[in-house]
Structure 1
Protein backbone atom coordinates (compact mmCIF):
# COMPACT_ATOMS: atom_id res chain seq x y z
CA UNK A 1 0.00 0.00 0.00
CA UNK A 2 2.82 2.40 0.88
CA UNK A 3 4.47 1.82 -2.53
CA UNK A 4 1.17 2.70 -4.21
CA UNK A 5 1.11 5.97 -2.25
CA UNK A 6 4.67 6.75 -3.34
CA UNK A 7 3.87 6.15 -7.00
CA UNK A 8 0.60 8.05 -6.69
CA UNK A 9 2.31 11.03 -5.08
CA UNK A 10 4.94 11.03 -7.81
CA UNK A 11 2.16 11.24 -10.38
CA UNK A 12 0.41 14.10 -8.60
CA UNK A 13 3.63 16.06 -8.22
CA UNK A 14 4.56 15.45 -11.85
CA UNK A 15 1.44 17.36 -12.88
CA UNK A 16 2.26 20.18 -10.50
CA UNK A 17 5.87 20.52 -11.62
CA UNK A 18 5.10 20.22 -15.33
CA UNK A 19 2.53 23.03 -15.16
CA UNK A 20 3.58 26.61 -15.85
CA UNK A 21 4.49 28.58 -12.74
CA UNK A 22 2.63 31.88 -12.71
CA UNK A 23 2.43 32.92 -9.07
CA UNK A 24 5.52 34.88 -8.07
CA UNK A 25 5.42 33.79 -4.40
CA UNK A 26 5.36 30.12 -5.40
CA UNK A 27 8.11 30.74 -7.94
CA UNK A 28 10.29 32.31 -5.27
CA UNK A 29 9.60 29.54 -2.78
CA UNK A 30 10.36 26.87 -5.39
CA UNK A 31 13.76 28.44 -6.09
CA UNK A 32 14.66 28.09 -2.43
CA UNK A 33 13.73 24.44 -2.10
CA UNK A 34 14.33 22.97 -5.56
CA UNK A 35 17.93 22.59 -6.71
CA UNK A 36 19.38 21.21 -9.94
CA UNK A 37 22.84 19.98 -10.88
CA UNK A 38 24.01 18.89 -14.33
CA UNK A 39 26.98 16.75 -15.36
CA UNK A 40 28.41 15.77 -18.75
CA UNK A 41 31.33 13.66 -19.94
CA UNK A 42 32.09 12.25 -23.43
CA UNK A 43 28.51 12.06 -24.65
CA UNK A 44 26.95 11.13 -21.31
CA UNK A 45 24.75 13.69 -19.60
CA UNK A 46 22.68 13.63 -16.44
CA UNK A 47 20.56 16.31 -14.80
CA UNK A 48 19.47 15.76 -11.20
CA UNK A 49 16.81 17.87 -9.52
CA UNK A 50 16.14 17.58 -5.79
CA UNK A 51 13.19 19.20 -4.02
CA UNK A 52 13.11 19.38 -0.23
CA UNK A 53 9.58 19.34 1.17
CA UNK A 54 9.89 22.13 3.70
CA UNK A 55 6.89 23.59 5.49
CA UNK A 56 7.18 26.73 3.37
CA UNK A 57 7.26 24.75 0.14
CA UNK A 58 4.32 22.52 1.07
CA UNK A 59 2.20 25.52 2.03
CA UNK A 60 3.06 27.30 -1.22
CA UNK A 61 2.36 24.15 -3.25
CA UNK A 62 -1.05 23.63 -1.67
CA UNK A 63 -1.97 27.31 -2.03
CA UNK A 64 -0.95 27.31 -5.70
CA UNK A 65 -3.13 24.28 -6.37
CA UNK A 66 -6.00 25.96 -4.52
CA UNK A 67 -5.61 29.14 -6.58
CA UNK A 68 -5.32 27.25 -9.87
CA UNK A 69 -8.38 25.08 -9.16
CA UNK A 70 -10.48 27.70 -7.33
CA UNK A 71 -10.81 25.48 -4.26
CA UNK A 72 -12.89 26.42 -1.28
CA UNK A 73 -11.26 26.63 2.15
CA UNK A 74 -12.58 23.16 2.98
CA UNK A 75 -11.22 21.73 -0.27
CA UNK A 76 -7.83 23.27 0.44
CA UNK A 77 -7.75 21.71 3.92
CA UNK A 78 -8.74 18.33 2.48
CA UNK A 79 -5.99 18.45 -0.14
CA UNK A 80 -3.47 19.56 2.47
CA UNK A 81 -4.51 16.72 4.76
CA UNK A 82 -4.14 14.13 1.99
CA UNK A 83 -0.74 15.49 0.96
CA UNK A 84 0.61 15.62 4.53
CA UNK A 85 -0.67 12.12 5.22
CA UNK A 86 1.01 10.76 2.09
CA UNK A 87 4.27 12.56 2.86
CA UNK A 88 4.21 11.07 6.37
CA UNK A 89 5.87 14.19 7.75
CA UNK A 90 5.40 13.18 11.37
CA UNK A 91 7.81 10.28 10.82
CA UNK A 92 9.93 11.10 7.76
CA UNK A 93 11.80 13.84 5.90
CA UNK A 94 10.63 13.66 2.26
CA UNK A 95 12.68 14.68 -0.78
CA UNK A 96 11.62 14.48 -4.41
CA UNK A 97 14.26 13.44 -6.97
CA UNK A 98 14.18 13.72 -10.74
CA UNK A 99 16.79 12.26 -13.09
CA UNK A 100 17.09 13.20 -16.77
CA UNK A 101 19.59 11.02 -18.63
CA UNK A 102 21.15 11.26 -22.09
CA UNK A 103 23.72 8.81 -23.38
CA UNK A 104 24.61 5.80 -21.24
CA UNK A 105 21.90 4.47 -18.95
CA UNK A 106 22.09 5.05 -15.22
CA UNK A 107 22.05 2.12 -12.79
CA UNK A 108 21.38 2.98 -9.14
CA UNK A 109 20.49 -0.38 -7.58
CA UNK A 110 20.54 -0.83 -4.67
CA UNK A 111 19.30 2.75 -4.49
CA UNK A 112 19.17 2.71 -0.70
CA UNK A 113 22.97 2.48 -0.74
CA UNK A 114 23.42 5.39 -3.16
CA UNK A 115 21.68 8.25 -1.36
CA UNK A 116 21.98 9.74 2.12
CA UNK A 117 20.75 12.71 4.12
CA UNK A 118 23.17 14.57 6.38
CA UNK A 119 21.60 16.21 9.43
CA UNK A 120 23.55 17.51 12.41
CA UNK A 121 26.78 15.97 11.18
CA UNK A 122 25.30 12.47 10.89
CA UNK A 123 24.45 10.50 7.76
CA UNK A 124 21.11 8.72 7.40
CA UNK A 125 19.94 6.18 4.84
CA UNK A 126 16.43 6.36 3.37
CA UNK A 127 13.70 4.40 5.12
CA UNK A 128 11.70 4.21 1.90
CA UNK A 129 11.88 5.32 -1.72
CA UNK A 130 10.22 4.93 -5.09
CA UNK A 131 11.12 1.33 -6.08
CA UNK A 132 11.57 2.40 -9.71
CA UNK A 133 14.90 3.97 -8.72
CA UNK A 134 16.26 0.44 -8.51
CA UNK A 135 15.74 -0.04 -12.25
CA UNK A 136 17.78 1.21 -15.20
CA UNK A 137 17.15 4.83 -16.22
CA UNK A 138 17.66 5.67 -19.87
CA UNK A 139 15.59 8.85 -20.17
CA UNK A 140 13.69 10.40 -17.25
CA UNK A 141 12.50 9.26 -13.85
CA UNK A 142 11.13 11.04 -10.81
CA UNK A 143 9.92 9.90 -7.42
CA UNK A 144 10.00 10.35 -3.68
CA UNK A 145 12.67 9.41 -1.14
CA UNK A 146 11.90 9.33 2.59
CA UNK A 147 14.49 9.71 5.34
CA UNK A 148 13.97 9.16 9.08
CA UNK A 149 12.63 12.14 11.01
CA UNK A 150 13.86 10.89 14.38
CA UNK A 151 17.16 9.45 15.58
CA UNK A 152 16.77 5.70 16.00
CA UNK A 153 18.74 5.56 19.27
CA UNK A 154 17.76 8.78 21.04
CA UNK A 155 14.33 9.44 19.52
CA UNK A 156 15.34 13.08 18.97
CA UNK A 157 13.76 15.06 16.14
CA UNK A 158 16.63 15.38 13.66
CA UNK A 159 15.43 18.76 12.40
CA UNK A 160 15.19 20.32 15.87
CA UNK A 161 17.97 22.88 16.12
CA UNK A 162 19.42 21.97 12.71
CA UNK A 163 20.62 24.82 10.53
CA UNK A 164 20.90 22.88 7.28
CA UNK A 165 20.40 19.47 5.69
CA UNK A 166 22.44 17.96 2.89
CA UNK A 167 21.35 15.33 0.41
CA UNK A 168 24.24 13.29 -0.95
CA UNK A 169 24.16 11.05 -4.02
CA UNK A 170 26.93 8.65 -4.96
CA UNK A 171 28.87 9.77 -8.02
CA UNK A 172 29.09 6.15 -9.09
CA UNK A 173 25.56 6.17 -10.49
CA UNK A 174 26.70 7.75 -13.79
CA UNK A 175 29.82 7.93 -15.96
CA UNK A 176 29.12 11.64 -16.36
CA UNK A 177 29.59 12.17 -12.62
CA UNK A 178 32.38 9.64 -12.06
CA UNK A 179 33.78 9.58 -8.52
CA UNK A 180 32.42 12.98 -7.51
CA UNK A 181 29.65 13.00 -4.90
CA UNK A 182 26.56 15.06 -5.71
CA UNK A 183 25.40 17.35 -2.90
CA UNK A 184 22.24 19.40 -2.42
CA UNK A 185 22.15 21.67 0.63
CA UNK A 186 19.13 23.46 2.10
CA UNK A 187 19.01 26.05 4.87
CA UNK A 188 16.29 24.87 7.29
CA UNK A 189 17.03 27.06 10.30
CA UNK A 190 13.87 29.14 9.79
CA UNK A 191 11.64 26.32 8.57
CA UNK A 192 9.07 25.07 11.08
CA UNK A 193 7.35 21.80 10.06
CA UNK A 194 5.04 22.00 13.08
CA UNK A 195 3.13 24.92 11.58
CA UNK A 196 1.79 22.54 8.93
CA UNK A 197 -0.25 20.76 11.57
CA UNK A 198 -2.41 23.75 12.45
CA UNK A 199 -6.04 23.92 11.34
CA UNK A 200 -8.43 21.16 10.31
CA UNK A 201 -5.85 19.12 8.41
CA UNK A 202 -3.53 19.16 11.41
CA UNK A 203 -6.32 18.06 13.73
CA UNK A 204 -7.19 15.15 11.43
CA UNK A 205 -3.55 14.10 11.21
CA UNK A 206 -3.22 14.25 14.98
CA UNK A 207 -6.31 12.06 15.29
CA UNK A 208 -4.76 9.59 12.83
CA UNK A 209 -1.57 9.51 14.88
CA UNK A 210 -3.48 9.02 18.13
CA UNK A 211 -5.50 6.16 16.65
CA UNK A 212 -2.30 4.44 15.53
CA UNK A 213 -0.67 5.05 18.90
CA UNK A 214 -3.70 3.72 20.76
CA UNK A 215 -3.69 0.58 18.61
CA UNK A 216 -0.01 0.01 19.37
CA UNK A 217 -0.54 0.55 23.10
CA UNK A 218 -3.47 -1.87 23.15
CA UNK A 219 -1.36 -4.44 21.34
CA UNK A 220 1.46 -3.98 23.84
CA UNK A 221 -1.06 -4.23 26.68
CA UNK A 222 -2.41 -7.53 25.31
CA UNK A 223 1.12 -8.89 24.99
CA UNK A 224 1.95 -7.81 28.55
CA UNK A 225 -1.24 -9.39 29.89
CA UNK A 226 -0.46 -12.61 28.07
CA UNK A 227 3.04 -12.61 29.52
CA UNK A 228 1.65 -11.86 32.98
CA UNK A 229 -0.77 -14.79 32.71
CA UNK A 230 2.10 -17.06 31.72
CA UNK A 231 4.12 -15.86 34.71
CA UNK A 232 1.17 -16.34 37.07
CA UNK A 233 0.71 -19.86 35.76
CA UNK A 234 4.39 -20.68 36.23
CA UNK A 235 4.40 -19.19 39.73
CA UNK A 236 1.36 -21.27 40.68
CA UNK A 237 3.05 -24.42 39.35
CA UNK A 238 6.23 -23.70 41.30
CA UNK A 239 4.34 -22.97 44.54
CA UNK A 240 2.32 -26.16 44.18
CA UNK A 241 5.48 -28.20 43.69
CA UNK A 242 7.12 -26.52 46.69
CA UNK A 243 4.15 -27.55 48.87
CA UNK A 244 4.45 -31.12 47.63
CA UNK A 245 8.12 -31.17 48.57
CA UNK A 246 7.41 -29.77 52.03
CA UNK A 247 5.06 -32.62 52.98
CA UNK A 248 7.44 -35.36 51.89
Structure 2
Protein backbone atom coordinates (compact mmCIF):
# COMPACT_ATOMS: atom_id res chain seq x y z
CA UNK A 1 0.00 0.00 0.00
CA UNK A 2 2.84 2.38 0.89
CA UNK A 3 4.54 1.56 -2.40
CA UNK A 4 1.36 2.39 -4.33
CA UNK A 5 0.95 5.66 -2.44
CA UNK A 6 4.57 6.57 -3.13
CA UNK A 7 4.18 5.80 -6.84
CA UNK A 8 1.01 7.88 -6.95
CA UNK A 9 2.81 10.81 -5.34
CA UNK A 10 5.67 10.53 -7.83
CA UNK A 11 3.21 10.47 -10.73
CA UNK A 12 1.47 13.59 -9.40
CA UNK A 13 4.78 15.43 -9.05
CA UNK A 14 5.76 14.49 -12.60
CA UNK A 15 2.44 15.78 -13.95
CA UNK A 16 2.71 19.08 -12.08
CA UNK A 17 6.30 19.77 -13.07
CA UNK A 18 5.88 18.62 -16.66
CA UNK A 19 2.97 21.03 -17.30
CA UNK A 20 5.23 24.04 -18.06
CA UNK A 21 7.29 21.88 -20.39
CA UNK A 22 4.18 20.78 -22.28
CA UNK A 23 3.06 24.39 -22.68
CA UNK A 24 6.49 25.58 -23.79
CA UNK A 25 5.89 25.08 -27.54
CA UNK A 26 2.75 27.24 -27.35
CA UNK A 27 4.66 29.92 -25.44
CA UNK A 28 7.38 29.82 -28.08
CA UNK A 29 4.80 30.33 -30.83
CA UNK A 30 3.30 33.29 -28.98
CA UNK A 31 6.73 34.87 -28.57
CA UNK A 32 7.54 34.34 -32.23
CA UNK A 33 4.48 36.21 -33.50
CA UNK A 34 3.91 38.71 -30.68
CA UNK A 35 6.35 41.62 -30.50
CA UNK A 36 6.54 44.39 -27.91
CA UNK A 37 8.37 47.71 -27.86
CA UNK A 38 8.54 50.25 -25.04
CA UNK A 39 9.39 53.95 -25.19
CA UNK A 40 10.04 56.54 -22.48
CA UNK A 41 10.43 60.28 -22.82
CA UNK A 42 10.41 62.12 -19.51
CA UNK A 43 7.09 61.35 -17.87
CA UNK A 44 5.57 59.92 -21.04
CA UNK A 45 5.61 56.15 -21.49
CA UNK A 46 4.32 54.03 -24.36
CA UNK A 47 4.20 50.26 -24.71
CA UNK A 48 3.09 48.82 -28.04
CA UNK A 49 2.45 45.13 -28.65
CA UNK A 50 1.65 43.77 -32.10
CA UNK A 51 0.58 40.21 -32.90
CA UNK A 52 0.64 38.88 -36.44
CA UNK A 53 -2.01 36.21 -36.96
CA UNK A 54 0.09 33.68 -38.84
CA UNK A 55 -1.03 30.15 -39.61
CA UNK A 56 1.20 28.81 -36.85
CA UNK A 57 -0.16 31.31 -34.33
CA UNK A 58 -3.81 30.61 -35.15
CA UNK A 59 -3.32 26.83 -35.05
CA UNK A 60 -1.55 27.09 -31.69
CA UNK A 61 -4.28 29.37 -30.35
CA UNK A 62 -7.06 26.99 -31.39
CA UNK A 63 -5.23 23.92 -30.09
CA UNK A 64 -4.51 25.63 -26.77
CA UNK A 65 -8.20 26.43 -26.29
CA UNK A 66 -9.12 22.88 -27.28
CA UNK A 67 -6.70 21.43 -24.73
CA UNK A 68 -7.93 23.72 -21.95
CA UNK A 69 -11.60 23.04 -22.65
CA UNK A 70 -11.25 19.35 -23.57
CA UNK A 71 -12.99 19.90 -26.91
CA UNK A 72 -13.84 17.12 -29.30
CA UNK A 73 -12.50 17.25 -32.86
CA UNK A 74 -15.84 18.67 -34.06
CA UNK A 75 -15.83 21.35 -31.36
CA UNK A 76 -12.28 22.31 -32.33
CA UNK A 77 -13.28 22.65 -35.99
CA UNK A 78 -16.30 24.76 -35.04
CA UNK A 79 -14.15 27.12 -32.96
CA UNK A 80 -11.59 27.31 -35.76
CA UNK A 81 -14.33 28.15 -38.27
CA UNK A 82 -15.74 30.90 -36.05
CA UNK A 83 -12.27 32.35 -35.42
CA UNK A 84 -11.29 32.36 -39.09
CA UNK A 85 -14.60 33.96 -40.02
CA UNK A 86 -14.12 36.67 -37.39
CA UNK A 87 -10.56 37.32 -38.56
CA UNK A 88 -11.75 37.54 -42.19
CA UNK A 89 -8.51 35.79 -43.07
CA UNK A 90 -9.55 34.96 -46.62
CA UNK A 91 -9.70 38.67 -47.49
CA UNK A 92 -7.47 40.47 -45.00
CA UNK A 93 -4.22 40.23 -43.02
CA UNK A 94 -5.15 40.61 -39.34
CA UNK A 95 -2.82 42.15 -36.78
CA UNK A 96 -3.71 42.77 -33.15
CA UNK A 97 -2.44 45.95 -31.48
CA UNK A 98 -2.21 46.68 -27.78
CA UNK A 99 -1.27 50.14 -26.52
CA UNK A 100 -0.44 51.12 -22.95
CA UNK A 101 0.31 54.74 -22.08
CA UNK A 102 1.33 56.65 -18.97
CA UNK A 103 1.68 60.40 -18.81
CA UNK A 104 0.33 62.25 -21.83
CA UNK A 105 -2.77 60.88 -23.54
CA UNK A 106 -2.43 59.31 -26.97
CA UNK A 107 -4.35 60.57 -30.01
CA UNK A 108 -4.41 58.36 -33.10
CA UNK A 109 -7.37 59.66 -35.14
CA UNK A 110 -7.81 59.04 -37.95
CA UNK A 111 -6.12 55.75 -37.17
CA UNK A 112 -6.32 54.60 -40.77
CA UNK A 113 -3.75 57.27 -41.62
CA UNK A 114 -1.40 56.32 -38.78
CA UNK A 115 -0.63 52.68 -39.55
CA UNK A 116 0.58 50.82 -42.65
CA UNK A 117 1.72 47.41 -43.76
CA UNK A 118 4.67 46.92 -46.10
CA UNK A 119 4.40 44.03 -48.57
CA UNK A 120 6.75 43.50 -51.47
CA UNK A 121 8.19 46.99 -51.11
CA UNK A 122 4.76 48.67 -51.23
CA UNK A 123 2.86 50.37 -48.43
CA UNK A 124 -0.83 49.68 -47.81
CA UNK A 125 -3.34 51.31 -45.47
CA UNK A 126 -5.69 49.18 -43.36
CA UNK A 127 -8.92 47.93 -44.90
CA UNK A 128 -10.61 48.01 -41.49
CA UNK A 129 -9.75 48.53 -37.83
CA UNK A 130 -11.25 48.79 -34.37
CA UNK A 131 -12.97 52.22 -34.31
CA UNK A 132 -11.95 52.74 -30.68
CA UNK A 133 -8.45 53.53 -31.94
CA UNK A 134 -9.89 56.86 -33.09
CA UNK A 135 -10.58 57.94 -29.52
CA UNK A 136 -8.21 59.40 -26.95
CA UNK A 137 -6.23 56.77 -25.05
CA UNK A 138 -5.18 57.59 -21.51
CA UNK A 139 -4.36 54.12 -20.17
CA UNK A 140 -4.71 50.93 -22.23
CA UNK A 141 -6.48 49.75 -25.36
CA UNK A 142 -6.33 46.75 -27.68
CA UNK A 143 -8.03 45.85 -30.93
CA UNK A 144 -7.70 44.34 -34.38
CA UNK A 145 -6.43 45.96 -37.55
CA UNK A 146 -7.17 44.31 -40.90
CA UNK A 147 -4.89 45.03 -43.84
CA UNK A 148 -5.81 44.14 -47.43
CA UNK A 149 -4.86 40.62 -48.49
CA UNK A 150 -5.21 41.27 -52.22
CA UNK A 151 -4.10 44.08 -54.51
CA UNK A 152 -7.09 46.29 -55.25
CA UNK A 153 -6.24 46.71 -58.94
CA UNK A 154 -4.77 43.34 -59.95
CA UNK A 155 -6.37 41.01 -57.40
CA UNK A 156 -2.95 39.51 -56.69
CA UNK A 157 -2.41 37.84 -53.31
CA UNK A 158 -0.08 40.26 -51.51
CA UNK A 159 1.33 37.50 -49.30
CA UNK A 160 2.33 35.35 -52.26
CA UNK A 161 6.14 35.04 -52.45
CA UNK A 162 6.45 37.52 -49.57
CA UNK A 163 9.30 36.71 -47.19
CA UNK A 164 8.70 39.36 -44.55
CA UNK A 165 5.93 41.64 -43.38
CA UNK A 166 6.50 45.02 -41.78
CA UNK A 167 3.85 47.01 -39.93
CA UNK A 168 4.62 50.65 -39.26
CA UNK A 169 3.07 53.18 -36.88
CA UNK A 170 3.35 56.93 -37.31
CA UNK A 171 5.45 58.74 -34.73
CA UNK A 172 2.77 61.42 -34.57
CA UNK A 173 0.51 59.35 -32.35
CA UNK A 174 2.51 59.96 -29.15
CA UNK A 175 5.23 62.36 -27.91
CA UNK A 176 7.63 59.55 -26.88
CA UNK A 177 7.92 58.31 -30.49
CA UNK A 178 7.36 61.55 -32.39
CA UNK A 179 10.81 61.57 -33.97
CA UNK A 180 11.24 57.82 -34.52
CA UNK A 181 7.97 56.01 -35.21
CA UNK A 182 7.47 52.31 -34.52
CA UNK A 183 7.71 49.25 -36.74
CA UNK A 184 7.42 45.50 -36.34
CA UNK A 185 8.81 42.90 -38.74
CA UNK A 186 7.84 39.24 -39.05
CA UNK A 187 9.43 36.51 -41.14
CA UNK A 188 6.55 34.93 -43.09
CA UNK A 189 8.56 32.99 -45.68
CA UNK A 190 7.32 29.65 -44.30
CA UNK A 191 3.83 30.81 -43.39
CA UNK A 192 1.06 29.14 -45.41
CA UNK A 193 -2.37 30.75 -44.80
CA UNK A 194 -4.07 28.29 -47.15
CA UNK A 195 -3.31 25.47 -44.69
CA UNK A 196 -5.92 26.94 -42.38
CA UNK A 197 -8.65 26.29 -44.90
CA UNK A 198 -8.26 22.51 -44.83
CA UNK A 199 -10.78 20.31 -43.00
CA UNK A 200 -14.39 21.00 -42.03
CA UNK A 201 -13.81 24.63 -41.09
CA UNK A 202 -12.18 25.31 -44.44
CA UNK A 203 -15.04 23.68 -46.33
CA UNK A 204 -17.57 25.83 -44.47
CA UNK A 205 -15.58 28.98 -45.17
CA UNK A 206 -15.31 28.06 -48.84
CA UNK A 207 -19.09 27.70 -48.94
CA UNK A 208 -19.44 31.10 -47.27
CA UNK A 209 -17.13 32.60 -49.89
CA UNK A 210 -19.15 31.02 -52.69
CA UNK A 211 -22.42 32.39 -51.31
CA UNK A 212 -20.85 35.83 -50.92
CA UNK A 213 -19.48 35.70 -54.47
CA UNK A 214 -22.86 34.71 -55.91
CA UNK A 215 -24.57 37.50 -53.99
CA UNK A 216 -22.08 40.00 -55.37
CA UNK A 217 -22.57 38.74 -58.94
CA UNK A 218 -26.34 38.98 -58.59
CA UNK A 219 -26.03 42.50 -57.23
CA UNK A 220 -23.82 43.53 -60.14
CA UNK A 221 -26.27 41.92 -62.55
CA UNK A 222 -29.18 43.87 -61.03
CA UNK A 223 -27.18 47.10 -61.29
CA UNK A 224 -26.50 46.44 -64.97
CA UNK A 225 -30.19 45.80 -65.61
CA UNK A 226 -31.10 49.00 -63.76
CA UNK A 227 -28.57 51.00 -65.75
CA UNK A 228 -29.93 49.71 -69.06
Matches within 5 A, 1:13-24: 23-24=23-24
Give structure 1 stretches of 5+ with no counterpart.
1-19, 231-248
Distance 1:171 1:21 in 2: 40
Runs (4+) of structure 1 moved beyond 4 Å? none
* Structure 1 residue aligned with 2:167: 167
Distance 1:22 1:144 in 2: 29
- CA 1:170–1:194: 2 relative to 1, 3 Å: same
* Structure 1 residue aligned with 2:66: 66
Distance 2:100 2:224 in 1: 52
Matches within 5 A, 1:1-80: 23-80=23-80
Q: Secondary structure at the match of 2:176?
A: coil
Deviations 1:202-235 (A, max 9, x none): 00000000001111122223334455xx4xxxxx
Instruction: Compare 218-227 and 70-79 and name the one that shifted more.
Output: 218-227
Distance 2:135 2:48 in 1: 16
Aligned length, in residue pairs: 209
Give structure 2 stretches of 5+ with no counterpart.
1-19
Q: Secondary structure at the match of 1:23?
A: helix
Q: Secondary structure at the match of 2:175?
A: coil
Deviations 1:186-213 (A, max 9, x none): 0000000000000000000000000011
Distance 2:125 2:224 in 1: 33
TM-score with structure 1 length normalisation? Answer: 0.82
- CA 1:83–1:21: 2 relative to 1, 3 Å: farther
Distance 2:107 2:94 in 1: 22
Matches within 5 A, 1:217-232: 217-227=217-227, 230=228
Distance 2:116 2:225 in 1: 41
RMSD across aligned positions (CA): 1.5
Distance 1:58 1:38 in 2: 25
Task: Flag the structure with larger Rg.
Answer: 1
